[in-house]
A and B are shown apart, each in its own frame.
Chain A
């Protein structure tokens, strides 16, 4: 395998160039997540014939269409269910699900819950832009309090869904959240997620200047991107400040969104347990047959 050195070579390998440029708005964070995923795949050297992408509906769910690999663009919220099916048909495949906050935490919430609980072997990359971008900016279940959306014109009064907390509680093997403006930790983290057996969730906080930023007065693209830097904190730093910091420092960071790896454990994935079950039953059957002889 030729080692890829430049972004141009990377694009030639991974992009379905005829589909390019994307439909994404100027300054949308989705493309960045795609690029980080490419670098992670390239650094791992995975055989792209053994990687399948699945997605639901939304701007974020269009990503598999831009990738030169097999992909399933499914119905809204159902990507994880389809992905489970692919994995069941051939557990040799690596499954990557691209999904949005509406797709994954809203309409597809229950699929997500049970896939995480069952520890189904897949990597879910949920791109959280706090909004239903594709349909023009309805309130998403992940939107911070006070967010303005077409369906929340006076500001959101519903408490946002922390999807990473949920995944941790359900015992997913790998759970991490990142922003899009700093490349190295997320690329490394996607690699870790891809290598994990069982369920891994990577949540990306991605700017949506059109449907979220504009409505919430977050300013132009530059300011909108800076909002994410100013309002997030690495979990390690957060914990240190919360333990050793002064009251003033605590006050400054207490409402920031935490980034980092929240869970990294090694429970057997569903298909590993399933294989063992099949082996056990086969053995049992062989024994009973022998007994009959």
Chain B
């Protein structure tokens, strides 16, 4: 699950573009800035890598794992991305 502080989102769409598995999309609601904050796509494929949360420049996203076992552990802060350079998708 991802939670978005809708009023904090400025609509840079970096979360959507940089999600390694393309799990996010623009939602169909406008916030008070006239921006469509992100949401998970219907077929939820999020792997809780938390990249979107960590690179959101406005700290608007919180990723919460739906997996009950996961809750017990500290969220895994590992992505499959290469450190620098190269293409993301």
Contacts and interface: CB of A to CB of B under 8 A. Distances in A.
Nearest to A225: B14
B19 to A, nearest CB: 13
Contact of A28 (B7, B17, B57): B57
Interface of B is mostly: loop
A106 B74 CA distance: 42
Given A27-B12, A232-B85, A22 B55 contact: no
A26 B74 contact: no
A22 B84 contact: no
Interface string A246-268: 00000000000001000000000
A15 B59 contact: yes
Nearest to A221: B12
Contacts of A21: 7-8, 10, 58
Contacts of A182: 81, 83-84
Interface string B67-89: 00000001101110101111010
A65 to B, nearest CB: 14
A220 B7 CA distance: 22
Interface in B1-37: 3, 7-8, 10-14, 17-18
A222 interface: yes
B22 to A, nearest CB: 14
B53 to A, nearest CB: 5
Interface of B: 3, 7-8, 10-14, 17-18, 50-51, 53-59, 61-64, 74-75, 77-79, 81, 83-86, 88
* Ranked 7 nearest A-B pairs via Cβ: A31-B57, A8-B62, A183-B54, A26-B10, A27-B12, A7-B62, A21-B8
